[in-house]
Chains A and B, each alone.
Chain A
Amino acid sequence: MSLYIYDEIDQRVVDQRVAQYRDQTQRFLAGKLSEEEFRPLRLRNGLYVQRYAPMLRVAIPYGILSSQQLRMLAHIARKYDRDYGHFSTRQNIQYNWPKLEEVPDILAELATVQMHAIQTSGNCIRNITADHFGGVARDEIVDSFVWCEIIRQWSTFHPEFNWLPRKFKIAVNGASVDRAATHVHDIGLHAVRDDKGEIGFRVVIGGGLGRTPIVGPVVREFLPWQHLLTYLEAALRVYNRYGRRDNMYKARIKILVKETGLEKFRAEVEAEWALLKDGPNTLIAEEVRRVEARFTKPAYATLPENDTALAEKLAVDTAFRNWHQRNVFPHKVPGYAAVTLSLKKSGIPPGDATSAQMDAVADLADRYSFGELRVSHEQNLVLADVRQSDLAAVWEEAKKLGFATPNIGLLTNIICCPGGDFCSLANAKSIPVALAIQERFDNLDYLHDIGELDLNISGCINACGHHHVGHIGILGVDKNSEEWYQIQVGGNQGETKQGEIRPGVAFPGASLGKVIGPSFARAEVPDVIEDLITCYLERRDSEAERFIDVVHRIGVEPFKKAVYGKPDSKSPRRSRQLATA
């Protein structure tokens, strides 16, 4: 189950929004709407004004696309932009060069394939994100997409919650492993079953990154699914009324939870909920079934559990085996697999894809994966329903497209924000740092030997590149108008291998990284990463112990020593080397 097909009402909502936004744009261009007031209006439609040009963020709700939609995204890149788009960590696509006056036309084209830019920015409820293996993962508890869609509809133009103190991000995870980073969202919903097997959600409120990174606390251990919307409505109402509006850096719900205190905050939400509970917003099974029924369902063939030709190829072809090990994910349907196409090839900014590549991937999806694909929050594309017997062919084609780098989960699968090349808030560039690291670590055997490692880069404290939850995190900082890079280790986005998550069981996942010391010039960063990796390789027990496990076992000190303790220390404080590599 994967792609929700609009009914006529859903379509009308999107069409009418295009007309409404066209009117707003025209009034702005005619001088009838001030710059100041047009700004929050255009933001609610994903249009930023960036350092060099506007940036348009198009929603890919919970990361699912049809091949037809991807071709439309390619068409838009070609017609209105510089022939490429950037897949973001929020399961969106961003165009960096659209013209403000053409945005209504872009939106009209998107609407023809049931796409939009609604609430992709601004202080409102944003695109709902989900775990990108929803519907196919073997550890699935519920299909997260159905719940995402229910929340998407509830949050679309919610009249009361369109002018919140700050943006609001909700993530839904439907499997026992948290692949949606639910503890670093404003609200994270983690599907669980209670003792009787009833479905509900563990509700985490007030996580987030940015300048005050917080692993969100559990506000409710078990919320029966019927009450999902009334509970969300209660939490959002408490936030809308009491969240801080005097200081935008203290306006996220995480600060409200922290300043109010978890117990009191919980009591406020529960008190509001008590008055909404069992009201008209209470979900009913018929609605859940209706939404479910509007999702496409792949017509899986009946296949043997394991394909024998695949096993044979894996036995003899090392390169294929490497790719299979890193980029292929097990599927709950026998004989199928999910394939990640890596957008993290060295030499290309992480997450970027050209229109030709998008078209080619759309073709792959048509031929091998029921015409559908997904965008992961690690900025890769996923073909979720590939026959095992087709894997070799998909690999060959992906290689031709440059999407077969077998680096999923590895060091070079870097999450990286647009940084100083595109973003007006940046302290430093981030993309060149990612490229330099990818170049340094382009030996695949070495990469595979290093094993699982998340490396995340943000160009400033806003943390769009999730640097706090990278096993290694890099943050661009500004010192006397020069670009420097602060390194941290030990963060973790919450994906965990430690078994099932049930009500009452402590959450084993997310943690935030610790800064190792003074910052570095850009040219030094690859050396520092190499020092960290060497330290790890020397100290790991076995290949099974990952970088993050070693940091958690031995602490940060040995890593500090490895970087700063050498006689020819590269500390920029001493070398005053310029940060202009």
Chain B
Amino acid sequence: MANLIRNRRVEADSWLRLELGAGPNETAGALPPVPADGDVIVPLALWQARRDALAARSGKTGVWLDSKDGPESIAGDLARLPLIAINFPSIADGRGLSTARLLRERHGYTGEIRAIGTVIKDLLLGMHRCGFDAFLLRDDQDPADALLAFDELADAYQASAVETQPLFRRRLAGAR
């Protein structure tokens, strides 16, 4: 079972993630059936097809974006979504980092932004600075070791989702 880090603690995960075409007897890309209750994270295509039905469920509904899906794909629905997950198909695909920053900084999204997919220790700090606050670690990751990643580099030169001012402004403010 994968471990979830949320707000720098290992926490239990109440969310069930649904995938396209993952149900029994279903073809690739088909919309999966949705359980009547419980918290689910649905693929973007499912959300777009059944938005209102999903929002009316008793459990909570979040959406997950693939790395190619920008924040525009979901921008109109942010108020209805307590959670947005962003998939990292490989260590090399950094598109989700821009998506998270835009959700936080441009669209003002304050719900949970969860990294899923290739979520390994070496990516956590960068993801955190881009606005992710939850990390579903890949199965092989040691959660205690992964938690150390957040403190590996204490300083960041840049402004980011968690630091509104770049270091040069903080330095000057400190010097005054």
Contacts and interface: CB of A to CB of B under 8 A. Distances in A.
B140 to A, nearest CB: 8
B101 interface: yes
Interface string B153-165: 1111111100011
Given A20-B152, A160-B130, A240 B97 contact: yes
The A interface is mostly helix, strand or loop, or mixed, namely: helix
Interface in A152-199: 153-154, 156-164
Interface in B113-169: 120, 122, 125-130, 142, 152-160, 164-169
Interface stretch (B13-21, B48-56, B86-94): B86-94
Given A9-B167, A280-B169, A17 B94 contact: no
Contacts of B165: 280
Nearest to A152: B157
A255 interface: no
Interface residues of B, number: 36
A358 B153 CA distance: 33
Contacts of B97: 159-163, 240
A432 interface: no
A290 B168 contact: yes
A17 B153 contact: yes
Contacts of A9: 155, 167, 171
A159 B166 contact: no
A551 to B, nearest CB: 41
B153 A280 contact: no
Contacts of A388: none
Given A9-B155, A157-B156, A286 B91 contact: no
A355 interface: no
A400 interface: no
Contact of B171 (A33, A164, A290): A290
Contacts of B158: 154, 158-159, 281
B95 interface: yes
B133 to A, nearest CB: 14
A157 B157 CA distance: 8
Contacts of B28: none
Nearest to A163: B94
B70 A241 contact: yes
Given A159-B160, A163-B93, A16 B98 contact: no
B155 A275 contact: no
Given A9-B171, A159-B158, A280-B166, A40 B153 contact: no
A254 B130 CA distance: 26
B36 to A, nearest CB: 37
A82 interface: no
A287 B168 contact: yes
B106 interface: yes
B12 interface: no
Contact of B156 (A17, A20, A159, A241): A159
A277 to B, nearest CB: 13
B155 A12 contact: yes
B172 interface: yes
B152 A240 contact: no
Contacts of B91: 37, 40, 163
Contacts of B166: 154, 229, 280-281
A160 B156 CA distance: 12
Interface in B81-113: 91-95, 97-98, 101, 106
B154 A40 contact: no
B163 to A, nearest CB: 9
A496 interface: no
A13 B153 CA distance: 6
Contacts of A33: 122
Nearest to B118: A37
A279 B101 CA distance: 14
A37 B160 CA distance: 25
B104 to A, nearest CB: 11
B5 to A, nearest CB: 17
Contacts of B94: 160-164, 240
A477 to B, nearest CB: 29
B129 A159 contact: yes
Contacts of A237: 98
Contacts of A32: 142
Nearest to B159: A280
A123 interface: yes
B69 to A, nearest CB: 11
A512 to B, nearest CB: 30
A24 interface: yes
Interface string A28-72: 000011000100110000000000000000000000000000000
Nearest to B121: A27
B75 to A, nearest CB: 13
A297 interface: no
A375 to B, nearest CB: 24
9 contacts: A153-B167, A160-B97, A160-B126, A161-B97, A163-B91, A163-B92, A163-B94, A240-B98, A280-B159
In order of increasing CB-CB distance, the 6 nearest A-B pairs are A163-B94, A159-B129, A287-B168, A159-B126, A20-B152, A153-B157
Interface of A: 9, 12-13, 16-17, 19-20, 23-24, 32-33, 37, 40-41, 123, 153-154, 156-164, 229, 237, 240-241, 245, 275, 279-281, 283-284, 286-287, 290
Given A37-B122, A154-B157, A280-B159, 6 more contacts: A158-B157, A160-B101, A162-B94, A241-B95, A284-B169, A287-B169
